[in-house]
Amino acid sequence: MSDDEKDKSAPGPPEAPKASEPKPSEPPKEGETPATPASTGTVEPLGRTAEGTPVAAGAPTPPPSPRPSPATPPAAEGAGGEAPAPRPRPAPPAAAAGEGAAPAAPRPAPAPRAPAGPSPAELAQKAEVPSVPLDRLRARFPEIAATATFFSGVPIVAVPAGSIVEVCRFLKDDEESRCTYLSNLHGTHYPDKKDKPFEVVYHLYSIDRAQWIELKIELAEGESVPTVTTVWKTANWHEREAFDMLGIDFAGHPDLTRILLPDDWKGHPLRKEYPLEGNPGDHKYYRS
């Protein structure tokens, strides 16, 4: 897509560097240290703070880039569900990222500045493919399966936190789907989603069907999700890591302690507000 744009407008490529020139000088105006963008090489901060974490709502944002706002294409494409309410400023990427697979009636796109509509390639990526686990889920939990979207051939289903164990056990024990393999379990932090900033993602795999299915849960701060260690033993360490890195609480877990960091570490590193270099007071051996 951007290749076409570049080919059409001959002075295309020079535009990008010109427009980006204000950027490296902009952090000093805001009082940030300019050193860190240089240390990341040729990367433009692209709307991020000097530490590289996405801009939290309320922080000063960079001037509008020549690219279309990232927030509007998702609304135009209906990707994964409803877009967040259009922001008054050119949206930092955090806004676009702050969406999950929520149940969606596709909303009318706010005046898009980007080329309207998804490209055929993107539509192909979101196309529905036959999925036995999803079909079985539709049969048993129709209201949960209605939220399903697809990306790159994998169904993504949003599940309420309370019923995750039931859904997982159903998918595991069901004769047709036989999702006996829990491939991955992790958490993500969306600080821009004020009510439900945490998300726990499960990837289930059916060895017989050779098909994946992804389940997602949205969690509020402090809310806990029931553990699935009773369904698959392998969830044990995955959940410990999610707890260690993000602070997500798994109710009923046999041993919810830190796994990768020392036991007396404070803070949860994969949260977006946690700096990449760590905080000075996190550990008694940490040297700031």
Partner 1 sequence: MFQTTEMEINLGPQHPSTHGVLRVLLKVDGERILESKPVIGYLHRGCEKLGETRPMPQVVVYTDRMDYVAAFAGNLTYIEAVERLIGLEAPPRAKYMRVVLAELQRIASHLLWLGTHALDIGAMSVFLYCFREREMILDLFEGYCGARLTLNAVRIGGQLNDFPDGWVDEARRFLNAFPKQVEEYETLLSQNRIWIERTRGVGVISAEEAIDWGLSGPPLRGSGVAWDIRKSNPYAAYADLSFDVPVGENGDTYDRYLVRMEEMRQARRLALEALDKMPGGDVRAKVPKRLKPPAGAEVYHATESPRGEMGVYLKSDGSETAYRCRFRSPSFVNLQALPALVKGHLIADIVTLIGSIDIVLGCVDR
Q: With 0-12 CB in 10 A as exposed, 13-18 as middle and 19+ as buried, what is 59?
A: middle
Nearest distance from C-beta of residue 128 to partner 1, angstroms: 15
Backbone angles phi, psi at 6, to 5 degrees: -65, -40
Nearest distance from C-beta of residue 160 to partner 1, angstroms: 19
250 binds partner 1 (CB under 8 A): no
129 binds partner 1 (CB under 8 A): no
CA distance 197 to 94: 12
Nearest distance from C-beta of residue 171 to partner 1, angstroms: 14
CA distance 148 to 18: 43
Backbone angles phi, psi at 92, to 5 degrees: -65, 155
- Inter-helix orientation angle 12-20/22-30, to 10°: 20
Collapsing DSSP to helix, strand or coil, 226 comes out as strand
Q: 10, 276, 284, 285: which one contacts partner 1 (CB under 8 A)?
A: 276
Nearest distance from C-beta of residue 241 to partner 1, angstroms: 8
Residue 49 CB coordination number (10 Å): 18
Task: Identify which of 223, 253, 211, 219 has the alpha carbon closest to the alpha carbon of residue 235.
Answer: 253
Q: Where on the phi/psi map is residue 277: left (φ > 0), alpha (ψ -120 to 50), or beta?
A: alpha
For partner 1, which is the closer residue by CB, 129 or 139? 129
Q: 139, 146, 207, 220: which one contacts partner 1 (CB under 8 A)?
A: 207
43 binds partner 1 (CB under 8 A): yes
User: What residue has token string 């001037």?
Assistant: 63
Q: 26, 87, 138, 237: which one contacts partner 1 (CB under 8 A)?
A: 237
For partner 1, which is the closer residue by CB, 121 or 142? 121
Binding site for partner 1 (CB under 8 A): 1-3, 6, 13, 16, 40-41, 43, 46-48, 51-54, 67, 70-71, 73-74, 77, 79-80, 93-94, 96-97, 99, 118, 121-122, 124-125, 151-152, 154, 156, 180-184, 186, 188, 201, 203, 207, 210, 212, 214, 232-234, 236-238, 241, 245, 258-262, 269-270, 274, 276
